[in-house]
């Protein structure tokens, strides 16, 4: 047998299978039946959709990323048996349910305009210039209902029509760019690119410039931190680990 | 009095002066126009298609917001929704009427809402002009600090607040509602036979010169009747009547520009409100030289 080098992604995948790692199949009491691209599988009921797909034997090379609900790569569309409603989810954040018919969406073919932010005017009209399809919004709210982050997507699209940069930036702040809104939109609007555009514009023109970062850059240039850097660079590996652990303990991490 | 109010996108962008002046005028008359929370596009003209219910989601959703305001206590039994823009008024009111007359259509729309509150049909869409008329022109008269005596104004109505007659707020052939207000302000209301003539509407995007001929007729007729400026309550009419005067001058070099204002701007002026509330700086044709000439403005 050819020895295969274990990649980082393989290690990550194994680490994320903690719920079933080391458990004998006969000890797992609860099972559900799911359908992956039309084919039925019995999987342990406590898996996420992503874990279940891998449990069933698939190796995901697209449609998976951070496995922590942040990267937006694992968009899933599913329908449950006997329900008319087509549902959307992040595969790594949603537990399997009996009777799910699943398909992964590895990529959204979304139009993305090119613009030079330095040359744009901070005017409501820029929205319709780069995203003219926004005017086709019917206020059907399908985008909002498809958002795995529970954002008020329709509200921020409507805010674009009002030219309210701040509202879009704030309402879309937690967007993970999974693209499900754009795929479900009957008006074919690309909501998440619109939102990113608005956040960039708001960041550049709508908010106060932070003086502290410029001040810090000047401090770095003046060499105020050189001594400390030298000290850290010259530490032994063990001491460096201690410094790192201490620093981590003093910070709040998610 | 607190009452829900629907601004619409134009009042937040190219017609800010309409909103600023109207809100200030309302406040002086003890009317608090409360902006509808989470309002969306009124639906614009696209919602008037007869076979496409999907297009009515936008207006109906706005009406639902009014009911929600009452449900959550932001409004106390106030189901009227005030619109300023004539286009928004027309679309909201026609959609409301349509679903009230066709319960099966409303049911379809409500089914589509899925997991959201449906529309219970409780809302009445009104135009700000109606609100002013119903509170009495005398009440306006009492608020006047700067009498507009000597100012000759031709009100223009267009079509959207008058037609179809089921939703119209005045006589579709001979509307007078703006005259009532202008007279109360002390101005002389000039009757323009072209007051309900089409402004050209969205043709302005396709063929600006087709529209500028209409502008030429409407403004020239108003001037012939003795008017010095024109008032309206529709941002699209205002754009066509005012900004298209540039094209009028191209074709008719002898034409002299005439300012076109929102009626609320003149109300703000007459109520003696600060000039920032009159919003004259956003008008396509600056009315300030004329108003200074008339001693109405410093």
Within this chain, do residues B175 and B286 fall inside the same structural domain, yes or no? yes
pLDDT of residue A6: 66
Nearest to B96 by CA among B6, B26, B19: B6
Alpha helix (H) residue ranges in A122-225? 125-130, 142-146, 153-162, 165-171, 180-184, 191-201, 211-222
Which positions in chain A have a beta carbon within 8 angstroms of at least one beta carbon in chain B?
A: 85, 124-125, 137-141, 145, 152, 154-155, 158, 161-164, 186
Asked whether the beta carbons of residue B57 and residue A138 sit closer than 8 angstroms, the reply is yes
Express each pLDDT in A42-71 by its tens digit: 999 999 999 999 999 898 999 999 999 999
Measure B280 CA to nearest chain A CA, in Å: 20
Nearest-Å Rg of the Cα atoms of chain B is 19
Does a structural domain hold residue B229? yes
Measure B2 CA to nearest chain A CA, in Å: 23
User: Which residues form the domain of B83?
Assistant: 2-128
Determine the residue of chain A that is closest to B115 in CA distance.
A145
3-state secondary structure of B231: strand
Q: Is residue A21's pLDDT more than 80?
A: no
Q: Where are the domains of chain A?
A: 8-20+28-105, 117-206, 211-249
Residue A5 pLDDT grade (very low, low, confident, very high; cuts 50, 70, 90): low
Query: Count of residues for chain B?
Result: 298
Q: Is residue A17's pLDDT more than 70?
A: no
Domain stops at, among B67, B97, B128: B128
pLDDT of residue B52: 85
Supply the pTM of this predicted model. Answer: 0.86
CATH number at residue B205: 3.40.50.11810
Show Cβ contacts of residue B194 under 8 Å, excluding neighbours closer than 6 positions.
B156, B217, B218, B221, B222
Domain A117-206 has CATH 1.10.1060.10: yes
pLDDT of residue A23: 78
Contacts of A139 in chain B (CB under 8 A): 40-41, 43, 57-58, 61
Residues B293, A103: Cα–Cα separation, whole Å? 72
At B142, which helix (H) or strand (E)? Answer: helix B137-143
pLDDT of residue A19: 60
Measure B161 CA to nearest chain A CA, in Å: 23
pLDDT of residue A12: 66
Determine the residue of chain B that is closest to A186 in CA distance.
B54
Contacts of A124 in chain B (CB under 8 A): 12-13
CB A139 within 8 A of CB A169: no
pLDDT of residue B173: 94
Residue A13, CB half-sphere, CA atoms under 13 Å: how many? 17
Of A124, A140, A164, the CB nearest to B54: A140
pLDDT of residue A253: 53
Rounded average pLDDT over A183-204 = 97
Q: Is residue A2's pLDDT more than 90?
A: no
Measure A125 CA to nearest chain B CA, in Å: 9
Residues B194, A4: Cα–Cα separation, whole Å? 85
Asked whether the beta carbons of residue B57 and residue A154 sit closer than 8 angstroms, the reply is no
pLDDT of residue A10: 72
Within this chain, do residues B152 and B89 fall inside the same structural domain, yes or no? no
Q: Considering all CA atoms of chain B, what is the largest pairwise distance in Å, rounded to the nearest integer?
A: 61
First to last CA, chain B: 33
Show Cβ contacts of residue A116 under 8 Å, excluding neighbours closer than 6 positions.
none
3-state secondary structure of B267: helix
CB B20 within 8 A of CB B63: no
Express each pLDDT in A26-42 by its tens digit: 888 899 999 999 999 99
Please spell the DSSP secondary structure of A33-63, one letter per residue.
EEEETTEEEEEETT-BHHHHHHHTT---SSS
Show Cβ contacts of residue B39 under 8 Å, excluding neighbours closer than 6 positions.
A158, B6, B7, B62, B65
Contacts of B39 in chain A (CB under 8 A): 158
Question: Cα-flanking dihedrals φ and ψ of residue A247, to 5°?
Answer: -65, -40
Number of structural domains chain B divides into: 2
Contacts of A171 in chain B (CB under 8 A): none
The CATH architecture to which A8-20+28-105 belongs is Roll (3.10)
Does a structural domain hold residue B109? yes
Cβ contacts below 8 Å, chain A against chain B, sum to 43
Does a structural domain hold residue B66? yes
Contacts of B112 in chain A (CB under 8 A): 140
Asked whether the beta carbons of residue B40 and residue A164 sit closer than 8 angstroms, the reply is no
Within this chain, do residues B273 and B225 fall inside the same structural domain, yes or no? yes
Rounded average pLDDT over A65-84 = 95
Within this chain, do residues B151 and B263 fall inside the same structural domain, yes or no? yes
Residue B271 zone, left/alpha/beta (φ > 0; ψ -120 to 50; rest)? alpha
> Low-confidence residues of chain B, pLDDT below 50?
none
pLDDT of residue A113: 95
Quote ipTM for the complex. Answer: 0.87
Asked whether the beta carbons of residue B40 and residue A145 sit closer than 8 angstroms, the reply is no
Measure A145 CA to nearest chain B CA, in Å: 9
Express each pLDDT in A214-248 by its tens digit: 999 999 999 999 999 999 999 999 999 998 888 87
pLDDT of residue A127: 96
């Amino acid at each position: 047998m050819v020895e295969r080098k274990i990649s980082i992604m393989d290690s990550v995948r194994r680490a994320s299978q903690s719920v079933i790692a080391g458990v004998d199949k006969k000890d797992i009491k609860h099972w559900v039946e799911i359908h992956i691209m039309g084919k039925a599988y019995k999987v342990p009921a406590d898996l996420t959709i992503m874990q279940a797909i891998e449990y069933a034997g698939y190796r995901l090379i697209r449609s998976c990323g951070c496995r922590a609900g942040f990267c937006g790569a694992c968009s899933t569309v599913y329908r449950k048996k006997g329900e008319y409603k087509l549902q959307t989810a992040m595969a790594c954040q949603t537990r399997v349910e009996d009777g799910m018919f699943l398909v992964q969406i590895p990529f959204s073919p979304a139009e993305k305009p090119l613009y030079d932010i330095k040359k744009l005017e901070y005017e409501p009209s820029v929205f319709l210039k780069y995203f003219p399809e926004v005017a086709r919004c019917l206020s059907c709210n399908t985008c909002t209902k498809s958002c795995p982050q529970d954002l008020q997507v329709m509200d921020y699209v409507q805010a674009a029509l009002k030219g309210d940069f701040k509202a879009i930036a704030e309402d879309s702040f937690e967007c993970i760019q999974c693209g499900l809104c754009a795929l479900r939109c009957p008006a074919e609007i690309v909501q998440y690119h619109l939102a990113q555009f608005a956040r960039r514009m708001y960041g550049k023109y709508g908010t106060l410039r932070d003086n502290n970062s410029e001040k810090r850059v000047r401090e770095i240039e003046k060499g105020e931190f050189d001594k400390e850097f030298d000290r850290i660079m010259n530490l032994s590996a063990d001491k460096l680990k201690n410094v790192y652990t201490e620093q981590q303990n003093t910070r709040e991490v998610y | 009095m607190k009452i829900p109010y629907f601004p619409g996108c134009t009042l937040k962008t190219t017609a800010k002066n309409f909103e600023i002046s109207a809100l200030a005028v309302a406040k002086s008359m003890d009317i608090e126009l409360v902006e509808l929370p989470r309002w969306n596009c009124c639906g614009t003209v696209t919602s008037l298609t007869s076979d496409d219910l999907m297009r009515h989601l936008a207006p109906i959703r706005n009406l639902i917001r009014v009911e929600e305001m009452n449900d959550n206590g932001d409004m106390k039994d106030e189901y009227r929704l005030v619109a300023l823009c004539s286009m928004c008024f027309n679309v909201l009111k026609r959609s409301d009427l349509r679903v009230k007359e066709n319960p099966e259509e409303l049911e379809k729309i409500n089914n589509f809402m899925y997991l959201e509150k449906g529309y219970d049909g409780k809302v009445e869409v009104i135009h700000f002009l109606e609100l002013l008329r119903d509170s009495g022109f005398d009440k306006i008269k009492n608020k006047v600090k700067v009498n507009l005596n000597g100012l000759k104004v031709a009100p223009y109505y267009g079509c959207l607040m008058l037609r179809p007659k089921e939703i119209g707020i005045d006589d579709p052939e001979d509307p007078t509602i703006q005259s009532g207000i202008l007279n109360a302000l002390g101005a002389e209301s000039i009757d323009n036979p072209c007051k309900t003539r089409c402004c050209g509407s969205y043709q302005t995007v396709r063929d600006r010169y087709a529209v500028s001929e209409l502008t030429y007729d409407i403004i020239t007729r108003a001037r012939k009747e003795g008017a010095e400026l024109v008032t309206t309550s529709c941002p699209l009419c205002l754009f066509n009547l005012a900004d298209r005067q540039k094209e009028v001058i191209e074709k008719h070099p002898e034409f002299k520009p005439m300012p076109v204002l929102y009626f609320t701007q003149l109300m703000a002026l007459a109520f003696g409100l600060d000039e920032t509330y009159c919003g004259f700086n956003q008008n396509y044709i600056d009315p300030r030289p004329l108003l200074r000439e008339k001693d109405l403005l410093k």
